[in-house]
Amino acid sequence: MSEQVAKKSPTDFLNSILGRRVFVRLNSGIDYKGVLACLDGYMNIALEQTEEYVDGELRNRYGDTFIRGNNVLYICGI
């Protein structure tokens, strides 16, 4: 018997987390948590209800945040 694994592209994943809470880690090690409002093909990200964490400690809260895509290390749903 062969197992069938559903393949998901990165675009499918990103579309599935639009409007949901996400965790974004930057190349600098700073983390952001917020609601993913939108993103584009360059991985530029707009977050709402954003919290900024430095060394695991909450530093700031922002209403809306724009993160330039070349600074993003990874993004995941929470």
pLDDT digit string (tens) for 6-45? 777 878 888 888 999 999 999 999 999 999 999 988 889 9
Residue 21 resides in a domain: yes
What's 28's domain CATH number? 2.30.30.100
Does residue 3 fall inside a structural domain? no
Q: Is residue 48 part of a domain?
A: yes
- pLDDT tens digit string along 37-77? 999 888 899 999 999 999 999 999 999 999 999 999 999 99
The pLDDT value recorded for residue 43 is: 87
- The answer to whether residue 67 sits within a structural domain is yes
Domain count, the chain: 1
Q: Across the strands, what pairs with 22? A: 34, 77
Domain that holds residue 34: 10-77
Torsion sign (Cα): 25, 64, 35, 67: negative
